[in-house]
Structure 1
Amino acid sequence: MAASSEARKKSELRVFESLDELATDLAEYIAQLSETSVKERGCFTIAFSGGSLISLIGRKLCEAPYNKTVDWTKWYVFWADERAVAKNHGDSNYKQTKDGFLSKVSVLNSHVYSINDNVTVEDAAGEYEFAIRQLVKIRIIGVCESNDCPKFDLILLGMGPDGHVASLFPHHPVLDQKEEWVTYITNSPQPPPERITFTLPVINSASNVAVVATGEDKAVSVHLAIADAIDGLDAVSLPARMLLPADGKLVWFLDKPAASVLDAGSNFSQHAE
């Protein structure tokens, strides 16, 4: 419990007056991490989720100055979770990211790792994990020293009103998965039912984890996720509360409605925009 408390205190909370201000700061945050990773390791590994997160990224990161200053050729792109649908399906996180972001920047196609949509969801998860393991072997993706999990430079997540992140839903058995890097589910409480997802150990092994939550319907879950201690709250009922990077940093990007239930005395490192 003490370790969890310390991890929360080291995390950062950013609250913005508008979605436009949030998008501006998020773009700068990603660009700075990209620059640092390219200088230190020669590449930048980033994993996306879907939803409104992509539209926020597409607002600013595709425009000046980033479209010229970011070294897109050094990016390696992954998905922290994906729906088991065709790549041209409206529910596909790959399609959302390609249409809203990747099609507007010069990331190399050979550096974009999407799931195989022509096999079963179980096989797709296995193939995706194998691809990640191959990239770990050649040191494109780093390794977390504490658990030998892949260490992505940045994992970008949204959060649902129920507190789910990636495709890790409340009380779902995959929250206990510690051996696999990528797993699958066939019974998602939200459609479509079949999905693959990074497991919690992989997400918590990243150098940086960013969670973007906007809207009043997220406010209670945001509060429950970041509060230092809440009597009777079981973490598996709110997966976002289980985001505790081992050796990395967690940053929350919130608009005012999503932050409306937060206590003024939160233990998080805070700054308002």
Structure 2
Amino acid sequence: MTENGAAKQVIIKKDAATLADYVATRFVNRVVKRVAEGKRMHICLTGGTMGGAVLRAAALDPRVADIDWSLVHFWFGDERFVGRDSGDRNDRQARAALLDALAVPAENIHTVASTDDGLDLDSAAIAYADELAQFAPSDRSETGPWPSFDICFLGVGPDAHIASLFPDRPEISVTDRATVPVRDSPKPPPERISLTRPVINSSKRVWMVIAGADKAAALGLALAGASYQSVPAAGAKGRRRTAFFVDEAAADQVPPQLIDREY
């Protein structure tokens, strides 16, 4: 397949553990290459089972000890608006899985405000958008007031949601801002903050990591080009590459012609 955002690559691995190891290696490969060139990079992380598994696998790669992490900035595709120490926080999972083990400057880890920070949900969403805007490129021909992520990791729910953009809800159609508050989320906790589709789709690479038979239908619909309003995963695409990294259980409905051997 050609290397562009329009071409969706599907890379299948045997099981969730093998998948996590494979994606983690690709991730570290990319960071090593970019940092060796002296270039700053922005990574958008996701939560969920596979999001954590990939980060834990990356932490075991011996190369991470030699990377100049001062050039790397970490962001979050969405966050649960709960207390800072809550186990529901995506940033807490990411720190435990990888970030706390890295020599990364504290200011390079960009977290969403919590309920402990004196902001309400709307103000927290605006604050995160303001922080994103501080790292917007000078040339915004392919992006808006936010950084273009070198890699944007996304999980995909059984309902095909990405970040905290759920099917048939107004947040999936928001295009005039970088972040959106989410209330009455169909998946607990009820209050969240999410990046919007324009931010996700201005990423150079979108990597969706999907495991489990319960995700097969969502993956099939996303690859079939379903409406992004009803199947948010169908609307996620990177400017250079869009990859679905999946295990065999999730790949049950993938047409053979869409499968790539390697990324």
TM-score by length of 1: 0.87
Deviations 1:63-98 (A, max 9, x none): 232332433232211101001011200111111111
Match of 1:169 among 166, 170, 189: 166
Where do 5+ consecutive residues of structure 2 fail to align?
A: none
Tell me if structure 2 keeps the 8 A contact 1:144–1:205: no
Counterparts of 1:126 and 1:37, CA distance in 2 = 30
Q: Which residue number in structure 2 is paired with residue 46 of structure 1?
A: 43
| Aligned: 1:252 with 2:244 | yes
Q: Indicate how the Cα distance of structure 1 residues 132 and 7 shifts in structure 2: closer, same or farther if over 3 A, else same.
A: closer
Amino acid at match of 1:99: A
Alignment of 1:212-231 (within 5 A): 212-227=209-224, 229=225
Q: Indicate how the Cα distance of structure 1 residues 131 and 272 shifts in structure 2: closer, same or farther if over 3 A, else same.
A: closer
| Aligned: 1:235 with 2:228 | yes
Counterparts of 1:41 and 1:236, CA distance in 2 = 39
Q: Which residue number in structure 1 is paired with residue 74 of structure 2?
A: 77
Counterparts of 2:54 and 2:253, CA distance in 1 = 25
**Cα drift, residue 16 of structure 1:** 0.2
**Cα drift, residue 147 of structure 1:** 4.4
**Cα drift, residue 41 of structure 1:** 5.9
Q: Indicate how the Cα distance of structure 1 residues 116 and 162 shifts in structure 2: closer, same or farther if over 3 A, else same.
A: same
Q: Indicate how the Cα distance of structure 1 residues 132 and 224 shifts in structure 2: closer, same or farther if over 3 A, else same.
A: same
Deviations 1:111-144 (A, max 9, x none): 11111212111101100010111122xx5xx755
Q: Which residue number in structure 1 is paired with residue 121 of structure 2?
A: 121
Tell me if structure 2 keeps the 8 A contact 1:219–1:257: yes
Amino acid at match of 1:200: R
Deviates more, 1:188-197 or 1:100-109: 100-109
Count of residues in Structure 1 that have an aligned counterpart in Structure 2: 256
Tell me if structure 2 keeps the 8 A contact 1:149–1:205: no
| Aligned: 1:209 with 2:206 | yes
Tell me if structure 1 keeps the 8 A contact 2:15–2:211: no
Q: Which residue number in structure 2 is paired with residue 131 of structure 1?
A: 131
Counterparts of 1:19 and 1:66, CA distance in 2 = 22
Q: Which residue number in structure 2 is paired with residue 265 of structure 1?
A: 257
**Cα drift, residue 17 of structure 1:** 0.8
Counterparts of 1:113 and 1:74, CA distance in 2 = 14
**Cα drift, residue 156 of structure 1:** 0.6
Q: Indicate how the Cα distance of structure 1 residues 152 and 162 shifts in structure 2: closer, same or farther if over 3 A, else same.
A: same
**Cα drift, residue 59 of structure 1:** 3.2
Tell me if structure 2 keeps the 8 A contact 1:154–1:208: yes
SS at match of 1:220: helix
Amino acid at match of 1:235: Y
Q: Which residue number in structure 2 is paired with residue 3 of structure 1?
A: none
Counterparts of 1:54 and 1:175, CA distance in 2 = 21
Counterparts of 2:230 and 2:205, CA distance in 1 = 24
Where do 5+ consecutive residues of structure 1 fail to align?
A: 1-5
Amino acid at match of 1:260: D
Q: Indicate how the Cα distance of structure 1 residues 148 and 41 shifts in structure 2: closer, same or farther if over 3 A, else same.
A: farther
Match of 1:148 among 144, 148, 152: 144
| Aligned: 1:193 with 2:190 | yes
Match of 2:9 among 12, 29, 54: 12
TM-score by length of 2: 0.90
Q: Indicate how the Cα distance of structure 1 residues 131 and 50 shifts in structure 2: closer, same or farther if over 3 A, else same.
A: same
Tell me if structure 2 keeps the 8 A contact 1:45–1:75: yes
